Amino acid sequence: MDVRITDQTFYTSFVLEHVEATNTNKIQEINRVQLNIVQSVSAQVGSTAVLPCDWRHLSIQTPHVEWRAGRKTVFERLGEESSQGKGYKGRVDVPEEELLKGNCSLVLKNVRVTDETLYSSYMGVKNSKKLVQNIKLSVSEKPEERKDDPSAPSRNYVAVML
């Protein structure tokens, strides 16, 4: 199954009954289901995570992106102007040059355990915002370094998109 972010919507099934005596159609809803598409990213405490977002398939004059965690704004960029939400100052960015190319990915530095949540990216269109992507960030603690083994390799921790 090739699920895409554009598949995210409500799906409804109906029964259509044709009533011959009145020559009308009667529609009865059977079921309604909302399909939510969520991509997962995992990162370790202290690493940098990149939460993917792509709108290269769209033509946008003035790029405007907003990233949220629930109702809380994490980051917003409109052209050269940007703002970072409380608790994210100095740790988040969507580089302007990347945004101009259609890459609206959020770079989150120095990941914390408290950063683990569902993030949503929105594209600003006129006076409204359209959902682009939902990303679930999972955060794990760094494993304890073995102090008794000086030959143990040093580790670099990076985000891995699953």
Q: How many domains does the chain have?
A: 2
Please, which pLDDT band fits residue 96 given cuts at 50, 70 and 90?
Answer: confident
pLDDT-derived band at 124, boundaries 50, 70, 90 = confident
Average pLDDT over every residue of 139-161: 48
Percent of the chain with pLDDT over 70: 71
Tell me how far apart the alpha carbons of residues 49 and 97 are, in angstroms, rounded to a whole number: 19
Section 61-86 average pLDDT: 89
Q: Look up the domain containing 10 and give its range.
A: 5-35
pLDDT computed for residue 130 by the predictor:
80
Q: 47 and 31 in one domain?
A: no
- Asked, for residue 52, whether it belongs to a domain, the answer is yes
Asked whether residue 148 is assigned to any structural domain, the reply reads: no
- Total number of residues shown for the chain: 162
Helix extents (H) in 12-132: 96-100
Average pLDDT over residues 57-76: 85
122: tokens are: 């929105």
Do residues 104 and 61 share a domain? yes
In this structure, the answer to whether residues 29 and 106 fall within a common structural domain is no
Q: How far apart, in whole angstroms, are the C-alpha atoms of residue 92 and residue 107?
A: 5
The pTM assigned to this predicted structure is 0.66
pLDDT band at 49 (very low <50, low <70, confident <90, very high): very high
Residue 118 lies in a domain: yes
Q: What is the CATH number of the domain that holds 127?
A: 2.60.40.10
The yes-or-no verdict on residue 95 having pLDDT over 70 is: yes
pLDDT band at 37 (very low <50, low <70, confident <90, very high): low
Q: Are residues 98 and 28 in the same domain?
A: no
Cβ atoms of 161 and 41 within 8 Å: the answer is: yes
Cα separation, 121 vs 77, whole angstroms = 11
Task: Assess whether 15 and 93 both reside in one domain.
Answer: no
Question: Does residue 29 sit in helix, strand or coil?
Answer: strand
